Amino acid sequence: MGEKMKHTLSCLVYNRPGVLAKIAESFAREGVNIYSLAAGEIEEEDKSRMTIVVDADRETVRGAEKRLNNLDDVIKLHDFKEGELIAMELLLIKIRIKAEEIPQVLQVAELFNAQVIAVSDTAMVLALHAEEKRVDGMVRMLKSHGIIEMSRSGKIAVTAP
Amino acid sequence: MKERAESVAVQDGDLYDMHAVLNRFTGMKPARLVIVRPYDTASLEAAAAAAQENVAQPILVGNRKKMNELIRKLGIKKDFVFVEASDDNILEQGASLLHDNEADFIMKGLVGTGDFIHVLLDPRWRVRTDRILSHVGMLEIPETKRVFLMSDAAINILPNFSRKIQIVRNAVDAARRIGIRRIRAAMLAAVEKVKLPAMPATLDAFLMKKYAETGLFGDCIVDGPFAFDNALDYRKAAEKGIGGSVAGRANVLIVPNIETGNVIWKTITCLQRGPAAGVVLGGSCPIVVPSRADDTKTKILSIKFARLLLDG
């Protein structure tokens, strides 16, 4: 068994009921945990692109890919190598407002080019769209300031131009 | 704050009548004012008036022949102290007078603000402190003559929240030093509610209000966001149902960016011909950085404002 690593798979599928379940099952049968999955329409209305990030060794991923390629709903599947894709994630994170920590929280936001998109007397919501590592970095830096709630979109990607 | 001989109208902790406020130094020892490159009418007339009124002892730094010619042409009958300097090192000469304790504060004449500040911030002159530099203007409401301070219309272009903290700190400090007893600082924006992401100034204003609750700025109230009229005119604030002790009664305005400050400043000085004074704070002494377009009156008032802060 080879070394486990993150793989980013782009899966072009027909946009019809049950596709997501079949794809999830293909990974489950190979014992692969899906790290993140983001799906949405593309330029052709009847098709969707799923960007799936899995953490597994190459052989196991190959097994899952074989299963996916056998599905009628899957049009095209690609396992991206580093440098082949432009990928980003969206993060929404709600932080507790402590008056004395406001400057530091805003400095973190500025550092990562995140935006405050909502605020109340007790909390503020920051939004960041960035590469996964930058999203990880901002989450790490905000941890000590009191994260109330957080949601990550998972990676979405297109091939590099 | 030292007691002044002159009486200044004080009501609800506010000051009234800018000229009365700025003339409170009468009888005090004039401070030594370096004026770098005073090659324009307004600078020289302001220097003469400052000397005449015992506000300051001007020290004119530049080409002596050139300055004397202009002084003669303007018919100024005043003896000045001159320090000869060529354009190559004129700014350094001026700064060195501060450093050597031969002057108490400094003003620029016909010099670009950027160059002037850049030289002053050179660590060797020890003008720089742990604070940032920010411009604080003094203006008055024409109808009531109530005095208010405004910052920053000249130095910080689009300050982030951290810089705004320093701007508030310098402005509140100035308000305290000129004798405003109940400091009510309004964070300006275009509306009174936080609007995101369209109006980031409203967010900074809202968060500054919260941050001020930590007590960092001492005994003062910071509130916002406010539109300009609702910050200064209590009738307008009341009409809109905006409450709180700052609404309509602000005596310190913090503008979100340099454009806003510049427009307020020019509206008052250019359209209303109202009095205005401006000083850069955050350094080891007040720095008078008038715009080259400012008239003599504004330059004199700015010198007086700086003098007052020097002693406050």
- Does the CB of A107 have a partner CB in chain B at under 8 Å? yes
Please tell me which of the candidates A103, A110, A119 has its beta carbon nearest to residue B203. Answer: A119
| pLDDT at residue B281 greater than cutoff 50 | yes
CA A122 vs CA B98, B111, B121, B154, B210: distances in Å: 47, 48, 40, 34, 10
What is residue B285's predicted lDDT score, i.e. its pLDDT? 96
Tally of CB atoms within 10 A around B98: 22
What is residue B173's predicted lDDT score, i.e. its pLDDT? 97
The token pair that represents B109 in the structure block? 């004449």
| pLDDT at residue B150 greater than cutoff 50 | yes
What is residue A37's predicted lDDT score, i.e. its pLDDT? 95
* Closest to B246 measured CA to CA, from B264, B230, B261: B230
Residue B161 to residue A100, Cβ atoms within 8 A? no
Amino acid found at B80: F
- Cβ contacts below 8 Å, chain A against chain B, sum to 38
What is residue B288's predicted lDDT score, i.e. its pLDDT? 97
Region A148-158: mean pLDDT is 94
Looking only at the bridges linking them, the beta strands covering A115-119 and B10-11 are unpaired
Q: Is B88 helix (H, G, I), strand (E, B) or coil?
A: coil
Q: Is B227 helix (H, G, I), strand (E, B) or coil?
A: coil
| B210 — pLDDT class (breaks 50, 70, 90) | very high
% of chain B exceeding 70 in pLDDT: 96
pTM: predicted TM-score of the whole model, two decimal places: 0.88
Asked if ipTM goes beyond 0.85, one says: no
**Summary mean pLDDT of chain B:** 93
The token pair that represents B239 in the structure block? 């009409």
- pLDDT tens by residue, A28-63: 999 999 999 999 999 998 999 999 999 999 999 999
Tally of CB atoms within 10 A around A51: 24
Region B184-203: mean pLDDT is 96
- Does the CB of A120 have a partner CB in chain B at under 8 Å? no
Please tell me which of the candidates A107, A117, A121 has its beta carbon nearest to residue B196. Answer: A117
- Does the CB of A117 have a partner CB in chain B at under 8 Å? yes
| pLDDT at residue B1 greater than cutoff 70 | no
Please answer whether residues B70 and B39 qualify as being in contact, where contact means their C-beta atoms are separated by less than 8 angstroms. yes
Please answer whether residues B58 and B47 qualify as being in contact, where contact means their C-beta atoms are separated by less than 8 angstroms. yes
The token pair that represents B260 in the structure block? 């806003």
What is residue A80's predicted lDDT score, i.e. its pLDDT? 86
DSSP B254-286: E-SSHHHHHHHHHIIIIIS---EEEEEESSSS-
Q: What are phi and psi of B10, to 5 degrees?
A: -125, 130
CA distance A9 to A54: 8
Q: What are phi and psi of B105, to 5 degrees?
A: -155, 175
- Does the CB of A5 have a partner CB in chain B at under 8 Å? no
CA distance B264 to B275: 12
Which of B196, B208, B214, B216 best tests the A interface by mutation, with the highest count of A CBs <10 A?
B196
Residue A99 to residue B213, Cβ atoms within 8 A? yes
CA distance A117 to chain B (A): 6
What are the chain A neighbours of B194 within 8 Å (beta carbons)? Answer: 119
Q: Is B155 helix (H, G, I), strand (E, B) or coil?
A: coil
Region B141-163: mean pLDDT is 95
**Summary mean pLDDT of chain A:** 93
Q: Is the dihedral of CA B207, B210, B216, B220 positive or negative?
A: positive
Residue A99 to residue B194, Cβ atoms within 8 A? no
What are the chain B neighbours of A103 within 8 Å (beta carbons)? Answer: 161-162, 165, 211
CA distance B81 to chain A (A): 47
CA distance B204 to chain A (A): 10
Residue A119 to residue B206, Cβ atoms within 8 A? yes
- pLDDT tens by residue, B236-265: 999 999 999 999 999 999 999 999 999 999
Residue A99 to residue B214, Cβ atoms within 8 A? yes
Q: Is A46 helix (H, G, I), strand (E, B) or coil?
A: coil
What is residue B26's predicted lDDT score, i.e. its pLDDT? 63
CA distance B147 to B9: 10
Q: Is A35 helix (H, G, I), strand (E, B) or coil?
A: strand
Pick the residue from chain A with its C-alpha nearest to B165: A103
* Closest to B286 measured CA to CA, from B140, B113, B104, B47: B104
% of chain A exceeding 90 in pLDDT: 86
CA distance B171 to chain A (A): 19
CA distance B227 to A97: 25
Please tell me which of the candidates B160, B161, B197 has its beta carbon nearest to residue A117. Answer: B197
Pick the residue from chain A with its C-alpha nearest to B211: A99
Please answer whether residues B225 and B206 qualify as being in contact, where contact means their C-beta atoms are separated by less than 8 angstroms. yes
